[in-house]
Copies of this chain bind each other. A is one copy, B any other.
Amino acid sequence: MVAQTKGDVKDIGLASQGILRIEWAAREMQVLRLVRERFARERPLEGLRLSACLHVTTETANLALALRDGGASVALCASNPLSTQDDVAAALVSEYGIPTFAIHGEDHETYYRHIHSALDHGPHYTMDDGADLVTVLHKERRELIGGVLGGTEETTTGVIRLRSQAREGMLEYPIVAVNEADTKHLFDNRYGTGQSTVDGVTRATNVLWAGKQVVVCGYGWCGRGIAMRVRGLGGHVIVTEVDPVRALEAVMDGYRVAPVLEAASDGDVFITATGDVKVIDEEALARMKDGAILANSGHFNVEIDIPALEAMSEGKRHMRSSVEEYRLKDGRRLYLLGEGRLINLAAAEGHPSSVMDMSFANQALCVEYLAGLQERPTRDVHPVPVDIDRTIAALKLNSLGVSIDSLTDEQLRYLESWEEGT
Residue ID in chain B nearest A396 by CB atoms: B248
Q: Which has the most chain B C-beta neighbours within 10 Å: A139, A162, A183, A352?
A: A352
Which residue of the partner chain, among B111, B244, B256, contacts A393 with CB atoms under 8 Å? B244
Q: A139 to B420, alpha carbons, bound, how many Å?
A: 12
Q: Does A278 contact B (CB under 8 A)?
A: yes
Structural contact, A186 and B245, CB atoms closer than 8 A: yes
Q: A241 to B402, alpha carbons, bound, how many Å?
A: 11
Structural contact, B258 and A236, CB atoms closer than 8 A: no
Structural contact, B211 and A195, CB atoms closer than 8 A: no
Structural contact, A248 and B202, CB atoms closer than 8 A: no
Which residue of the partner chain, among B135, B229, B259, B422, contacts A232 with CB atoms under 8 Å? B229
Q: Does A407 contact B (CB under 8 A)?
A: yes
Q: Does A206 contact B (CB under 8 A)?
A: yes
Structural contact, A300 and B404, CB atoms closer than 8 A: no
Q: Using C-beta atoms within 8 Å of the partner chain, give the interface range for chain A.
A: 35 or more
On whether A248 and B208 interact (CB within 8 A), knowing A135-B421, A234-B191, A254-B235, the answer reads no
Q: A323 to B419, alpha carbons, bound, how many Å?
A: 30
Q: Does A368 contact B (CB under 8 A)?
A: no
Structural contact, B206 and A234, CB atoms closer than 8 A: no
Q: Mark A103-146, 1 if CB is under 8 A from B, else 0.
A: 00000100100000000000000000011100110010000000
Q: Does A28 contact B (CB under 8 A)?
A: yes
Tell me the number of copies of this protein: 4
Structural contact, B320 and A403, CB atoms closer than 8 A: no
Residue ID in chain B nearest A414 by CB atoms: B277
Structural contact, B27 and A291, CB atoms closer than 8 A: yes
Q: A199 to B199, alpha carbons, bound, how many Å?
A: 7
Instruction: Note all chain B residues with C-beta closer than 8 A to A234.
Output: 191, 195, 228, 232, 252-254
Structural contact, B257 and A402, CB atoms closer than 8 A: yes
Instruction: Note all chain B residues with C-beta closer than 8 A to A79.
Output: 422
Interface residues, chain A, CB within 8 Å of chain B? 20-21, 23-25, 27-28, 79-81, 108, 111, 130-132, 135-136, 139, 160-162, 164-165, 168, 170, 182-183, 186-187, 190-192, 195, 199, 202-203, 205-211, 228-229, 231-236, 240-242, 244-245, 247-249, 251-254, 256-260, 262, 275-279, 291, 300, 302, 317-320, 323, 348-349, 351-355, 389-390, 393-394, 396-397, 400, 402-408, 410-411, 414-422
On whether A317 and B20 interact (CB within 8 A), knowing A165-B418, A352-B207, the answer reads yes
Structural contact, B244 and A397, CB atoms closer than 8 A: yes
Q: A417 to B291, alpha carbons, bound, how many Å?
A: 35
Structural contact, A247 and B165, CB atoms closer than 8 A: no
> Which 4 A-B pairs give the minimum distances between C-beta atoms?
A232-B232, A244-B393, A208-B352, A161-B418
Instruction: Note all chain B residues with C-beta closer than 8 A to A182.
Output: 245
On whether A277 and B199 interact (CB within 8 A), knowing A24-B319, A231-B232, the answer reads no
Structural contact, A421 and B192, CB atoms closer than 8 A: no
Q: A79 to B422, alpha carbons, bound, how many Å?
A: 8
Q: A180 to B183, alpha carbons, bound, how many Å?
A: 22
Q: A162 to B416, alpha carbons, bound, how many Å?
A: 10
Q: A390 to B135, alpha carbons, bound, how many Å?
A: 33
Residue ID in chain B nearest A356 by CB atoms: B208
* 11 chain-A/chain-B pairs, Cβ below 8 angstroms: A21-B320, A80-B422, A108-B422, A161-B418, A191-B252, A195-B210, A232-B234, A240-B405, A241-B404, A244-B394, A259-B403
